[in-house]
Structure 1
Amino acid sequence: MRITDHTDGLTITANDVTIAEYRLGGEIDAVNTPKPHFHPLRTLSGAQVTDFAPEDHPWHQGLQFAFPRVGDHNLWGGGTYFGPDEGYKIVADQGRIAHQRWEQRANEGADVGWTEQLDWIGHNGEPLVAETRTIAVRASGASNAGWILDLTAELSNSTSEALTLATPAQRGRADGGYGGLFLRLAEGFVPGTLTGESGEITASGARSRTMILSGTTGAGDSVTLGLAFADTEPVGDQAWLYRFEDFPAIGWAGAYENAFTIPVAGSLELRHRLAIYDGVVDVDAVSADLAL
């Protein structure tokens, strides 16, 4: 694998196939919250898995890490949810997540990746969170058809008060706990069976450390995805939030019902894994790759 620079971030190739581009988000308008993100993500054969800024949700940007409420600020993009009666409204509360610098890079080899520093900034320029983000990419250890992406985010409170990371769920939206790592799938994605640690997953909000699904992209490519929370994630509120009927997306919903709180001078570490494969891959093989 190899990492190379481009004008707005980094490109990751495997055997000369571009499997991922990491973009710093400079082209995103203020309402949709500029933020670093991965797009496109592809299988080893080049089948595209992600979508970017679709018309129905232009603040969905490939694979992204953000929260709808960071204190009094919207770091997700689009409208802010004000409750079941008022719904979503676009108000001037959007901030941004800004890349500051690369700390470490492993540009070539069986394992590649980087560590970077980012600042989460409020709608009036207030510093909210200092993030250390670590990305690691490697080939699957269980199937020659896939590769694995790990994203670890250490979030440190930059304010002088306890800071809440919240979702629309805390304002009364049913199945509204999206926030954190979020995957917008390519248009036309059709899922097959969703499997968790205890068997089939049948509804959004399922509790499981892992989720595995095979499906077909809008271009007709068969793919398998494996998703996992790290065991060190705060226990008790992890859920898989997903949509397929109106648009295809999956969220690692770490604050599905209850908000995170980062104390003054404190920090919170969240770890996630995504495995991407060509074709239909055996559940046991994917599970082996998802062991964190």
Structure 2
Amino acid sequence: MTASLIIDGVPVADYRTGDDLPADLAPRPHLHPVRTRAGLVLTAERPADHRHHLGLSLAVSDVNGDNYWGGRSFRRGQGSLPLDNHGRQLRRTVRITETAIEERLDWQDRAGEVVITEQRMITARPLDEESWSLDWSSELRAERPVRIASSAVNGRPGAGYGGIFWRFPDVGRTEVTSPLGDGAEAIHERRATWIAVRHQAPDGRSGTVVLTEPGSRDPWFVRDSGYVGCCPAPASTAAVELAPGEVLQCRLGAVVLDGWHTDPELLTGRLVRAGS
């Protein structure tokens, strides 16, 4: 099942349940394609380099030892392993309008047991003729004792990925910048109020995405070598432990603009207009 977020009659993002995905991709609902108002696609789904990257999705690599990210699992002292340990996110209820998706999800482990229940809200709204804003907010409630970790926590330096992860297109020119400097090295594993990712497609069209995590609570995972992707990463350097009933809040705000924008004042101004 696919639903679209629509602004002024034009689809700007498609939301897919992921029900038809193979188990080793950690099936989950995700947004793809996410587009500028002029139609430029700014996400990648199942790219050749990482088949488990699904546009914009909430994914983590280790929940009680099970993989909700997809692909291989990293184990301390053993390295990256192709394990049969993939979980999935299953929709229980959903309410969809042109500009909002409200959903209740069960995170099921490989045995089919519910480990986490999630309340998810995704909204879109126009800012002007060349930009729109996206907000993704999720509450993850532990149904049993839960330990959320990352490959970095499990012994792979720099691999703290996991959270509301945006995978950018794998063809064309893409650059990352932030208030801390240009490139992934300037921001990776650090906190910042925003990250801007500029992308130019092979046909010359370009778009800019400004990402923010309200509150700047978590360090960012950012990569711009081999592929471009980023997310606020709650388990970047330490595991998150939840007792039954405890909640982990995950949130990502984005402003999606047509054009290649480098002016920090313009970018932060759009964030202010978006309320991020």
Q: TM-score, normalised by structure 2?
A: 0.91
- Does 1:275 pair with 2:242? no
What amino acid maps onto 1:165 in structure 2?
I
Q: Which has the larger displacement, 88-97 or 203-212?
A: 203-212
**CA deviation vs aligned residue, 1:165-211 (integer Å, no higher than 9, x gap):** 11001111111110011111112242335022x45455132321311
Match of 1:227? Answer: 211
What amino acid maps onto 1:101 in structure 2?
T
Greater than 3 Å deviation, 4+ residue runs: 198-202
Match of 1:72? Answer: 65
CA–CA distance in structure 1, aligned partners of residues 63 and 203 of structure 2: 37
1:218 to 1:261, Cα distance in 2 relative to 1, 3 A = farther
**Equivalences for residues 96-245 of structure 1 within 5 A:** 96-102=88-94, 104-105=95-96, 107-108=97-98, 112-140=99-127, 143-159=128-144, 162-192=145-175, 194-196=177-179, 198-200=180-182, 203=185, 204-231=188-215, 235=217, 238-245=218-225
Secondary structure of the corresponding residue to residue 220 of structure 2: strand
CA–CA distance in structure 2, aligned partners of residues 25 and 149 of structure 1: 20
Residue ranges of structure 2 left out of the alignment (5+ in a row): none
Q: Does the 8 Å contact 1:49/1:217 carry over to 2? A: no
CA–CA distance in structure 1, aligned partners of residues 115 and 130 of structure 2: 40
**CA deviation vs aligned residue, 1:58-112 (integer Å, no higher than 9, x gap):** 11000010111111211111111013x422111111110111111x44x25xxx2
CA–CA distance in structure 2, aligned partners of residues 209 and 155 of structure 1: 23
Secondary structure of the corresponding residue to residue 92 of structure 1: coil
What amino acid maps onto 2:70 in structure 1?
G
CA–CA distance in structure 2, aligned partners of residues 217 and 174 of structure 1: 32
What amino acid maps onto 1:212 in structure 2?
A
Q: Does the 8 Å contact 1:44/1:277 carry over to 2? A: yes
- Does 1:89 pair with 2:64? no
2:34 to 21, 29, 41: 41
Secondary structure of the corresponding residue to residue 274 of structure 1: strand
1:248 to 1:130, Cα distance in 2 relative to 1, 3 A = same
**Equivalences for residues 57-68 of structure 1 within 5 A:** 57-68=50-61
Q: Which has the larger displacement, 211-220 or 149-158?
A: 211-220
Q: Does the 8 Å contact 1:44/1:146 carry over to 2? A: yes
1:100 to 1:193, Cα distance in 2 relative to 1, 3 A = closer
1:195 to 1:184, Cα distance in 2 relative to 1, 3 A = same
**CA deviation vs aligned residue, 1:23-48 (integer Å, no higher than 9, x gap):** 00012100111100000011000011
Secondary structure of the corresponding residue to residue 268 of structure 2: helix
Match of 1:286? Answer: 267
Shift of 1:146: 1.0
Shift of 1:212: 1.7
Q: Does the 8 Å contact 1:38/1:64 carry over to 2? A: yes
Shift of 1:125: 0.6
1:290 to 1:258, Cα distance in 2 relative to 1, 3 A = farther
Q: Does the 8 Å contact 2:5/2:100 carry over to 1? A: no
CA–CA distance in structure 2, aligned partners of residues 154 and 68 of structure 1: 18
- Does 1:13 pair with 2:6? yes
Match of 1:3? Answer: none
Residue ranges of structure 1 left out of the alignment (5+ in a row): 1-7
Q: Does the 8 Å contact 1:28/1:34 carry over to 2? A: yes
Q: Does the 8 Å contact 1:189/1:217 carry over to 2? A: yes
Q: TM-score, normalised by structure 1?
A: 0.86
CA–CA distance in structure 2, aligned partners of residues 89 and 173 of structure 1: 13
CA–CA distance in structure 2, aligned partners of residues 42 and 193 of structure 1: 18
